[in-house]
Amino acid sequence: MIGWTLEGGVYLIINYMQYKHHINLNFSHNTLNNHHRFPQRQFAPLVAAAQLAGVHIDISSSKALADSLDLAVKKEDPCVNISEF
């Protein structure tokens, strides 16, 4: 088994940083680190089901979606209260 050394780890980190810098310079328009807006139509079934249950779901951003799912509580229907399990 090959042992891990500090010099080898530093070498790997430097190579990774150079590689990431090269990718960001040459392909910045389509890198995975960009935060792309998700298609709103993909959440249409969730929003429709939530409306039927009388719950508002905000899909304007990932944070808003998470917050609205946390607030989706119906006292009379424990199946809706996912965060309480």
Within-domain flag for 63 = yes
Best CA proximity match to 46, nearest among 6, 19, 80, 4: 80
- Number of domains into which the chain is organized: 1
The share of the chain scoring above pLDDT 70, in percent, equals 72
Parent domain of 83: 44-85
Within-domain flag for 71 = yes
Query: 45 versus 35: which is more confidently predicted?
Result: 45
Token pair, residue 57, equals 């779901």
Within-domain flag for 19 = no
Within-domain flag for 74 = yes
Within-domain flag for 70 = yes
pTM > 0.85: yes or no: no
Within-domain flag for 54 = yes
Within-domain flag for 68 = yes
